[in-house]
Amino acid sequence: MQRVTTDALPTPPLSGPSRGVAKRTVAGSPAEPAPTAELAPSTGSAGPATTSTGSTIPAASTGSTGSAGPAGPATSTGSTRPTGPDPTMSVLPVAIPQPADVPRDDPRRSDVDEWGRSEHLRSIVRSVYDPVYRHWFRVEWEGLEKIPTDGGALLIANHAGAVPSDAPAIMHGIERELGRPVYGMADYFFRTIPVVGTLWSRAGGVPADPENAYRLLHDQRQLALVFPEGTKGPSKSYTDRYRLRRFGRGGFVEIAMRSGVPVIPIAVVGAEESMPILFRLPSVAKVLGVPYFPVTANALLFGPLLGSVAYFPVKMKMRVLDPVTFDVEPGLDRYSKSRVMDESERIRATLQDTLHDMLRERRSVWRG
């Protein structure tokens, strides 16, 4: 049987937009290479093309540009099949907009906050430590009302003892009496100790970093506790007790200025005698990679293991001084170094004088 093909024939001009019509050829005409349909140029939509089966293929509308779009192949029934994706389907995932007033679910599966603190573990620590706080150290506070019940504040204190007993006592007392969490900021070294670093974070420890302090004080309006003496405080020997070391370069003052919060000094008496250092072994500390390696009276009396956690039952007293505010604009990138150092030295001198006053008033290390 001879194949029937189509031959594009020109059409007479029509009124309005021009159209091209493909006509059917008769049997016996020369065979063409392939069924084609030629469309005349047009500014409107293209005309239909006739296939070998006699059905017409609707041409795609060219829109305002005048170029004809591709037509899908004809099926055996004369209908066309789409050659591209369904225009009603989206090939990319689209996020469903959420109302602004609907809070998002917290992705954390536990009560551990962004700093690593766990309120559940902290409550366990408070339950275990409370008898030590009340019956062993018999902690007494003076001026606790000067610590705000809301808003950010930077707490500073003197630091002493081979394994300092003042930090947990301050944090526990404020949380117990005021019901506010306290984040204790210390050297990043504690975070690197296996197991101890995790427990330290869960109990409220945060690496001492200016950005961490700013977020706690300014953004989250929390209480942060820092010890300006650094490791020089707890590493000093018993003969240098209650002699404050230099407060670094006054970084805590600059953090308070930038965050727009007050500095609240706390004078602590009793921690120096809870685990006094008799002497240090610098060579051992260098080998172990620790800031200092002390030999304490507790270790000589109770042994090295028990002596590292067994404190002497000293009477501990704490006095909260008046908050120190700074008449500067918060949020600046830099502050006057001379102003920062002057404020730091003034706070250090006030704290040192307060310690001397408390020591003169103390009758006994054990009874206060």
Query: Looking at the predicted structure, is the pLDDT value of residue 34 above 70?
Result: no
Q: Residue 349 carries which side chain, given as an amino acid letter?
A: A
pLDDT digits (tens, 9 = 90+) for 300-358: 999 999 998 999 999 999 999 999 999 999 999 899 999 999 999 999 999 999 999 99
Residue, of 61 and 109, whose pLDDT is higher: 109
Q: Residue 324 domain-assigned?
A: yes
Q: Residue 72 domain-assigned?
A: no
Q: What pLDDT shows up at residue 167?
A: 93
Q: Residue 198 domain-assigned?
A: yes
Query: Looking at the predicted structure, is the pLDDT value of residue 2 above 90?
Result: no
pLDDT digits (tens, 9 = 90+) for 117-149: 998 998 999 999 999 999 999 999 999 999 999
Q: What pLDDT shows up at residue 185?
A: 92
d(CA 258, CA 111): 30
Give which of 167, 250, 169, 157 is closest to 210, Cα–Cα: 250
pLDDT confidence of 59, banded at 50, 70, 90? very low
Q: Residue 107 domain-assigned?
A: no
pLDDT confidence of 106, banded at 50, 70, 90? low
DSSP assignment, residue 217? I
Question: How many domains does the structure of the chain reveal?
Answer: 1
- Domain interval for residue 218: 119-361
Q: Residue 65 domain-assigned?
A: no
Q: Residue 206 domain-assigned?
A: yes
Q: Residue 165 domain-assigned?
A: yes
Q: What pLDDT shows up at residue 21?
A: 44
Average predicted confidence (pLDDT) for the chain:
80
Please say whether the dihedral angle defined by the alpha carbons of residues 326, 179, 274 and 164, taken in this order, is positive or negative: negative
d(CA 257, CA 263): 9
Residue 142, both tokens: 């003076």
pLDDT confidence of 101, banded at 50, 70, 90? low
Q: Residue 64 domain-assigned?
A: no
Lowest pLDDT segment from 197-206, 228-237, 293-302 = 197-206
Residue 166's domain is classified under what CATH number? 3.40.1130.10
